[in-house]
Structure 1
Amino acid sequence: MVLSSDKLIQIRRHLHQIPELAMNEFQTSDYLRQVINSFSQQYLEIGSIPDLPTAILVRVNGSNPKRNIGYRCDMDALPVDENNGLSYASKNPHVMHACGHDIHMTVALGILNYFSEHQPSDNLIFFFQPAEESESGGKVAFDKDAFSGRFHVDEFYGLHDNAQLPAGVIGCRNGTLFAGTTEVNIIITGKSGHAAYPHLANDSIVIAASFIQQVQTIVSRNIAPTKCGVITFGKIDGGVIRNVIAGTTRLEGTIRGLTQTMIEFIRQRITEIASGLQKSFNCQITVEFNQGGYFPVENNPQLTKRFINFMKENPEVTFQETEPKMTGEDFGYLLNKIPGTMFWLGVDSPGALHSADFLPKESAIAKGIVAMTSFLEYRMNLEDEKCSKM
């Protein structure tokens, strides 16, 4: 069975109607297995990951394998109410493929379908990954040794759709494509008291204000202007009523950086500022960091140079070199462990990623499949090279 353009669009629209949140992609996984089982099974082996029940691994056995090449796509959706008025809109209340993972899965199915009919020379490992938007599904899979034995991966590739690029354009860059992200929670414990007697209390909101001001100087005064880092505290919770001094205040924020070194530096400075304020305000400040698998997506230099050169020279592909983005992606964890490349697929949406009116153009699907199948065939014809991790 070779998937036609009409069939690919039908698949994408079905996936769009059944979006599911991280670690709960059961309908999605069942449907993907149904589609995969309709392919020729001559070269295919289908596997699973016990600790990730919705994940799917597919090995395409090569005719003369020199390496195992991995291709990853993500499956989960977002807690967003769709606002597009589509006939194939989400049927699951308050959940939407607002990040385009339905496009990602459809492109992956198209590539897999092609190689199920045209045996590759190398082994190909397809990873349909749950929980990219939260809970770090890529990290869970790697840490559970999913990419070992028959499903070992020597190099990994994956795409992310891009609302700003024209439909079907392939975008990429060497170095960092996506920033790494780290959640940061701050709990400030002072002493509550009457608003009329501040000298008998220790105001955690005042301490929080000082903490936020000092932390915002990290990027402006501790990091070179040519480097990229972001610290945002998007939530603050303290106090119970206007005339009671707050004994405890909680801050929730995010750190983003284009390198892991940058993220670790920002974390160190936040910890040092908290330590200093504990002494100056005679309070307790607890700092919690949670990075999970959201490392910077740092493309491998050798593999990515080859990928970019191929896309530039391929007459069937429109290529554009792109700037790094401060958004996060847990494919960064896999690229921290296994050399590889992530790239953009333009979908020319009027609405931004993660928005209720995100509406990718489906014409991008076939172009993404053609670009990646032709690249993989080119890659498999090259002699093996040792590839260092970044």
Structure 2
Amino acid sequence: MNAIDRIREYADELTALRRDLHAHPEIGFEEVRTSGIVAEHLEKFGIEVHRGIGKTGVVGVLHGRPGARRIGLRADMDALPITEETNLPYRSTVPGKMHACGHDGHTTMLIGAARYLAETRDFDGTAVFVFQPAEEGLGGARAMIADGLFEKFPVDEIYAIHNAPHGPHGVLQVKPGPIMAAADFFDIRITGRGAHAAMPHQGIDPIVIATGLAQAMQSIVSRNSNPLKSAVVSITQFHAGAAYNVIPEGAHLAGTVRTFDAELRKLIATRIRELAAGFAAAYGATIEVDLRDVFSVLDNHPEQAAAAAEIATELFGSDKVEANTVPRMGSEDFADMVAAVPGAYAWLGATPGPGLHNASFDFDDSLIPLGAAYLARMVERRAAA
């Protein structure tokens, strides 16, 4: 019996677990209930459990047959601060929080893989199961690494998988090299001078400044960056004012920059600061720019990306593998793990539906046996490499 068939025998239990996690979402570094459930399942399977790695992270260690190789598998656990807009019977019970990215499914797939490997023990060496908190821009991977993840639990390779709601269903998508972009988050705070809306000449209008700066920042990609290099500058927040007849004293812009190229990343940061300084001088305002490195480029190692494609081909068939898929401008802090240890990140296509970070998103439960089998097979194959 192959791994997919065996895991399908308890797929209903895994689906129930996933839906329970979905109904009780916890955002980054608050995954107390979730990490507790993970630890309980691993302990039930006879897996050595370590809690509190990177605050709310959990690591499980399982030994197979004698062997020196150690293979890491990672899943993210956190939800998002989004109000769910589905009518699912297992919809979020926590106001303002939901699993809108499928981390409930990723956690469940890794639990399924751990159960299979614990039952079969058909591998050499050691499997290390990494359940990571706070992937959604809060630095969970960096927190685990800073807490000694790879010193306490060394691995030769590490792998992760993410659902892809755009489909095609059951198709594993991977590539060597850069696969997801670096991300910077920014906050720009403009301080002008408040005034009565009927007497604008007595103030320094931060809204006029903010709208002009927001427009000017859109020229960075179109006029300053090499058109052959991909980049995104997105302003996602604009906060100012609280009354109809008052020019406020301040305004706040926030957003994100996405790049694959280190030099372009520096150029965009420089241009944001230069534009802000120019607008401040032109209008007599004060502008503070806080630009933060949140995600590194996720750069798959060639050998491990090839292994991912090979194992997916074995499990799913060659028609269900894209071994040189297109990189995404989204970001993922698994990048910090593969910067420290050779590894590969892949997507698994779901039945097409609402996209990630959408209030109507729901994880495709039919992916659970596929993803769990892929992760388990990775240990069986790569531990013997």
- Both structures adopt the same fold (TM-score exceeding 0.5): yes
Q: Which position in structure 1 is the counterpart of 2:104?
A: 102
3-state SS of 1:116 partner: helix
Alignment of 1:1-390 (within 5 A): 4-39=10-45, 41=46, 44-49=47-52, 51-52=54-55, 54-117=56-119, 118-149=121-152, 151-194=153-196, 200-239=202-241, 241=243, 244-292=246-294, 294-312=295-313, 316=317, 318-320=320-322, 321-382=324-385
CA contact (8 A) 1:49 1:141 kept: no
Offset at residue 234 of structure 1 (A): 2.2
In structure 2, relative to structure 1, the CA distance for the partners of 1:174 and 1:261 (3 Å cut) is farther
3-state SS of 1:369 partner: helix
3-state SS of 2:158 partner: strand
CA contact (8 A) 2:187 2:289 kept: yes
Paired with 1:79 and 1:195, the residues of 2 have a C-alpha distance of 35
Opposite residue 41 of structure 2, the aligned amino acid is V
In structure 2, relative to structure 1, the CA distance for the partners of 1:260 and 1:156 (3 Å cut) is farther
Paired with 1:335 and 1:261, the residues of 2 have a C-alpha distance of 21
3-state SS of 1:66 partner: strand
Offset at residue 217 of structure 1 (A): 1.0
Offset at residue 250 of structure 1 (A): 1.7
CA contact (8 A) 2:54 2:145 kept: no
CA contact (8 A) 2:304 2:344 kept: yes
3-state SS of 2:65 partner: coil
Q: Which position in structure 1 is the counterpart of 2:3?
A: none
Paired with 2:267 and 2:303, the residues of 1 have a C-alpha distance of 27
Q: How many residues align?
A: 376
Opposite residue 345 of structure 1, the aligned amino acid is L
Paired with 1:175 and 1:209, the residues of 2 have a C-alpha distance of 38
Paired with 1:260 and 1:342, the residues of 2 have a C-alpha distance of 21
3-state SS of 1:96 partner: coil
Paired with 1:119 and 1:261, the residues of 2 have a C-alpha distance of 46
In structure 2, relative to structure 1, the CA distance for the partners of 1:13 and 1:315 (3 Å cut) is closer
Paired with 1:206 and 1:355, the residues of 2 have a C-alpha distance of 31
3-state SS of 1:256 partner: strand
| TM-score for both structures, normalised by structure 2 | 0.88
3-state SS of 1:148 partner: helix
Q: Bigger relative contact order, structure 1 or 2, given CA contacts below 8 A and separation 6+?
A: 2
> Cα RMSD over matched residues?
2.5
3-state SS of 1:64 partner: strand
Paired with 2:64 and 2:266, the residues of 1 have a C-alpha distance of 41
Which sits farther off after the overlay, 126-135 or 296-305? 296-305
Paired with 2:211 and 2:96, the residues of 1 have a C-alpha distance of 35
3-state SS of 1:219 partner: helix
Paired with 1:81 and 1:236, the residues of 2 have a C-alpha distance of 20
1:253-279 Cα offsets, whole Å, 9 max, x none, are: 211123444333311221122233333
Opposite residue 312 of structure 2, the aligned amino acid is M
Q: Which position in structure 2 is the counterpart of 1:388?
A: none
Opposite residue 27 of structure 1, the aligned amino acid is R
Structure 2 spans left out of the alignment, 5+ residues: 1-5
Paired with 2:374 and 2:243, the residues of 1 have a C-alpha distance of 59
Paired with 1:68 and 1:271, the residues of 2 have a C-alpha distance of 45
1:319-370 Cα offsets, whole Å, 9 max, x none, are: 1243222222221222233322110112214222222322333221112222
CA contact (8 A) 1:229 1:257 kept: yes
Offset at residue 126 of structure 1 (A): 0.8
CA contact (8 A) 1:168 1:368 kept: no
In structure 2, relative to structure 1, the CA distance for the partners of 1:32 and 1:78 (3 Å cut) is same
Which sits farther off after the overlay, 71-80 or 234-243? 234-243
Paired with 2:61 and 2:334, the residues of 1 have a C-alpha distance of 19
In structure 2, relative to structure 1, the CA distance for the partners of 1:261 and 1:306 (3 Å cut) is farther
Q: Percent identity?
A: 33
Which sits farther off after the overlay, 279-288 or 218-227? 279-288
